[in-house]
Structure 1
Amino acid sequence: MFPRARTAISCASRRPMPTSASASTASLRTSMLANHLSTSSPAQSAPAATSPEGNSAVVTFEAVHALRRVTLNRPKALNSLNEDMVSLIQPQLENFEASELANIILIKGNGKHFCAGGDVVFITKTLDDPKTWRNGSDFFASEYKMDQFLATTPRPVVAFMTGVTFGGGVGVSGHGAFRVATESTQIAMPETKIGLFPDVGANFLLGRLDGQLGLYLGLTSFPLKGAANYFAGFASHYVPAERLPALEARLAELDVTATHETVNAAINEFAADAEELQRGLKDYPLVGPIRRAIDAIFARPTAENIMADLGALEQGSYDMSKIVLPQDGDVDMSAIQKWAKETREAISLRSPTSVKLSLKAIREGRKLTIDEVFRMDARLAAACCNPEVHPDFLTGVTDLLIRKIKPEDQRPAWKPATLEEVSDKHIQETFFAHPPPFKNPPVPQLDFSRKNRPGAYAAYKISPHAKWALPSEREIEKIVKGEDAGSNEFAVTKQEVVDRLLQRWNGKVGVREKVDEVLRRKTIVAEEQTLKWL
């Protein structure tokens, strides 16, 4: 084992290098040592951008053996991402990937929360003048480049998603191999509330959640809490918060030879046991008939269809045979109707343009590679940074985040104001057509070349990191239907499905619970206790 070494890594910044004697010989040596530990490239030193909360850097970087720790450091702002933070993180990630001395990248937030998203208030301040519209679009592009790098780096990336992990926080955490949720974690994509759309590559992530869950989360901003993020697929592991320091110390013990398999095994040492997971899932609402309602209703072709079905369910005129099965036993119909009412009302308060834009983007994202999704996001974000093309982004941020008006008290003055006024043709021509119907800001041309990134993942449609999370509903379905590798012509029982997946996932806690929920919702028991997929 190497002797424990911990040192701060200097942060590159756009500020000029100071020429005064304040850069002492001792600090220079520290900077040189830090850069040596973080990268194989020549050491370069510059002062870090400071937080408006004090003199501390907005992002800190530390090396502990082969571990590289990235800490978002704006706790009073819930670590929301700004331009300085992104400009500091990106070059360090490139250094880590290039270094023979670096291996695991750990990303965490200072304080109770991981990251509340991008600093959209700052972005909208650039929308007052057409000359600065490009500033907002350029920030989005830089953010997406960083997120894409995390999605494709061959280094094991571990994110501690404590507390609030919204929007841009999902971009920083959700694309890496290992996404650790705790009982405090809250993940949501609240963009439709402010006239935006789920960006930061979320259209890749949401489109690959089970069934229509991703579309539901994207349109409603419903927050998943605690173990629900593990169950739904946002998180790869569920670890009680009190164990994170010990887990971090364990990761710091791993050397440069540690593989993704090694890191996965290390995290599993601290993961919740079955009893702890069950307690965490006790109040998870998106199961049974409500979850069937999500899959049935949010599969409808248009936003108007979705809203009509929610209204019918709320009023009791919906065909309940689509969502309630005999094996459900006594079902609380009032709870289902309450969910439908709350969901319909939530969507009705959103920007109608953003709702239709998000619906199309998430569905398009299911068909695209990870690179293509980020390029699509850049195209969409550019349109949102032109208030003449899409005024709702500026309106939403101004009302909700600056004026702090609650939408249920006063709905923002969305333009257009209703779903019916937003045509599919408008969405296509405004947000997806090439060339775009505007020149300011120009659509960023994102360079995702792997030329100088040996080992980086090629553009993928199926995430190479999916195997570290719980099995998907589709993987369970394939076993039941006999489509799985190694299947034969015989139908399977519930226990056989559980046993096969437990073996494949090396006994991972949560597999049994996930399989049980999916089978209760999606199958009926036939002859000799075998299963039939509905």
Structure 2
Amino acid sequence: MSAIHSSRRLLLLGSSWSRRVSTAWSMPLRAKISNPVFLAKAEMATAATADHDDVLFEVNRAARIVRLNRPRKLNALNESMLTKLTPRITEWGKSDAAKLLIIRGEGGKALCAGGDVAALLGVPPTKSTGFFTKEYTLDYILATYPKPIVTFMDGITMGGGAGLCMHTPFRIATEKTAFAMPETLIGFYPDVGASFFLSRLDGELGTYLAVTGERLNGFDAYFAGAATHFVPSEKLKDLEARLAELDTVEDLTGSRKYNAVINNAIDDFQTEVPVDYKFFYGGDKGKTIDACFKFETMEEITDALTKAADAGDEFANSTLDTINLRSPLSMKVALAAVRKGKTIDILETFKDDMFIASKFMTEPDFQTGVSYRLVEKQNGRADWEDASNVDITKFWPKGNEVPESLQATFAELDQLGHDRSAEEVAYKEYPFHNSLPTEKEVEQFVLGEARNSGPFLATKEEVIEYFLVEYRGKIGVREKVAEILDRKTQIVKGHEDEQLINWV
């Protein structure tokens, strides 16, 4: 598609802020929450008391702080932690004194390395499914929380750890961040609402990350949009203290202005772009990802990668090696989930996850992968099942029989948001956008289709300057927009002297 505009006048307007309505949850606050979603079953009570310090809770002025405290297990989530987290976080969501929630991990190595799935080996499918429904219920509560949440992605942030942070409006990456959804390597699939957040990353990057389980390290997590800010690890303590001081601000919880105040406070702690920084998945790698992962089947993706590798593309070749280690079934479900995730709302996403997880608990690949990777700690290719003739539609609730237990859980999720608007509890786009400009935004501006873009052709520098103003000079904007333009635009014929560009 080509821009046909000729006027080159550039309109520079201030950034607009996303908005979330802060209607209070109607469920009454009780010392013991009676809703079935939050009830700790007898079998969990013992686990909850076994390690009473695996989650720490703190009140600091305006802030309510959650500290995941299993450093030897890289803060991996277990039932004990979920039993504590859900009612306390829900309680704080209703408290007038609580202005924002901060989630971080103790030990300096991880926010959370994921769910403790190794503990699910050999247990009945109903019990393991129960663990996942509790985990996804917590993730959904965070995704629809009536107050701002700031998560510190300091260290390993994978699987269940991504579920705790990726649906929140403020996600802080550090130089130690290692973000990934590595489930296809253990015979599972990218859960915790990953199909929603991965499908909304630039181009086909989210598809690539879902299928391969590869990482975004450090600044790359910020550049790709997995994080909204980048703050050095050594500054997190001071940032936490600064956020707690925001109780001096007028009570604007959930409002547009209050979120802007939080965003600006975090911006003050950001560091400059690392010297000589280049996005790992940018340039030619980004082109390969977009060209090869745009298809609807794994067979087509593999064929495209093979052709690229045969033509001398080393990244395509290494990606084929990566895919070969993953569960074929897991990759097929991951691909289908990301494709569907782009079209559905956040509530349906988590219902799908609950159903898909229940199906995987009866699949041999899950037992094989978890045992091979997490228990035996092997690095080769596990003995996966042949998935060439699998009908993956069986992994989605639509058109399939939903067990009564899951029907009850679905009803409980609906009840959580029954008194709130759809834009709060069943949105199709995140209510907040505090990260760097997206590829789609840049494309719309170059084509003259964006809000206030005006009828013009522009140079690369003019496009960059527009976004610098629109994003108020946010760290990394220049580098992010420049990388997109280098990869996705070309100079228009007849305007070589002026260097005017168009999208390709």
TM-score (ref. length: structure 2): 0.85
CA contact (8 A) 1:133 1:441 kept: no
1:231-259 deviation line (CA, Å, top 9, x unaligned) = 00100000011111110110111117251
CA contact (8 A) 2:175 2:233 kept: yes
Amino acid at match of 1:100: D
Mapping for residues 258-297 of structure 1, pairs under 5 Å: 259-273=258-272, 277-279=273-275, 282=277, 284-297=279-292
Amino acid at match of 2:96: E
- Identify the residue that residue 431 of structure 1 maps to in structure 2: 395
Identify which of 74, 88, 94 aligns with 1:98: 94
- Identify the residue that residue 103 of structure 2 maps to in structure 1: 107
SS state of the match for residue 105, structure 1? strand
Mapping for residues 331-410 of structure 1, pairs under 5 Å: 337-386=313-362, 390-406=363-379, 408=380
CA contact (8 A) 1:378 1:444 kept: no
Mapping for residues 153-302 of structure 1, pairs under 5 Å: 153-255=145-247, 257=251, 259-273=258-272, 277-279=273-275, 282=277, 284-302=279-297
Q: Distance in 1 between matches of 2:421 and 2:46?
A: 33
Which ranges in structure 1 are unaligned for 5 or more consecutive residues?
A: 1-38, 127-131, 317-332
Amino acid at match of 1:340: A
Amino acid at match of 2:207: L
Tell me how far 1:44 sits from its aligned partner. Answer: 6.5
Tell me how far 1:433 sits from its aligned partner. Answer: 5.2
Identify which of 109, 117, 120 aligns with 1:120: 117
CA contact (8 A) 1:140 1:378 kept: yes
- Identify the residue that residue 76 of structure 1 maps to in structure 2: 72
SS state of the match for residue 458, structure 2? coil
TM-score (ref. length: structure 1): 0.80
SS state of the match for residue 176, structure 1? coil
Q: Which has the higher contact order (CA 8 A, sep 6+)?
A: 2
SS state of the match for residue 108, structure 1? strand
- Identify the residue that residue 21 of structure 2 maps to in structure 1: none
SS state of the match for residue 122, structure 2? helix
Tell me how far 1:43 sits from its aligned partner. Answer: 5.1
SS state of the match for residue 114, structure 1? strand
Amino acid at match of 2:440: R
Amino acid at match of 1:62: E
Which ranges in structure 2 are unaligned for 5 or more consecutive residues?
A: 1-26, 34-39, 253-257
CA contact (8 A) 1:106 1:159 kept: yes
Tell me how far 1:154 sits from its aligned partner. Answer: 2.2
Tell me how far 1:338 sits from its aligned partner. Answer: 2.5
Structure 1 residues 290 and 444: CA distance shift in structure 2, 3 A: farther
Q: State the identity %.
A: 40
CA contact (8 A) 1:379 1:443 kept: no
Mapping for residues 409-448 of structure 1, pairs under 5 Å: 411-416=381-386, 421-423=388-390, 426-428=391-393, 430-432=394-396, 434-436=398-400, 445-446=409-410, 447-448=413-414
Structure 1 residues 302 and 458: CA distance shift in structure 2, 3 A: same
Amino acid at match of 2:446: V
Tell me how far 1:445 sits from its aligned partner. Answer: 3.2
Tell me how far 1:189 sits from its aligned partner. Answer: 0.5
Tell me how far 1:481 sits from its aligned partner. Answer: 0.2
Tell me how far 1:415 sits from its aligned partner. Answer: 1.5
Structure 1 residues 198 and 95: CA distance shift in structure 2, 3 A: same
Amino acid at match of 2:385: K
Tell me how far 1:503 sits from its aligned partner. Answer: 1.7
Structure 1 residues 456 and 61: CA distance shift in structure 2, 3 A: farther
Structure 1 residues 456 and 441: CA distance shift in structure 2, 3 A: closer
Q: Within the alignment, does 1:67 sit opposite 2:82 as a pair?
A: no
Structure 1 residues 460 and 454: CA distance shift in structure 2, 3 A: closer
Q: Distance in 1 between matches of 2:320 and 2:70?
A: 35
Aligned length: 455
Q: Within the alignment, does 1:531 sit opposite 2:498 as a pair?
A: no
CA contact (8 A) 1:133 1:440 kept: no
Amino acid at match of 1:196: F
SS state of the match for residue 284, structure 1? coil
Tell me how far 1:404 sits from its aligned partner. Answer: 1.6
Tell me how far 1:66 sits from its aligned partner. Answer: 1.4
Tell me how far 1:375 sits from its aligned partner. Answer: 0.9
Structure 1 residues 49 and 186: CA distance shift in structure 2, 3 A: farther
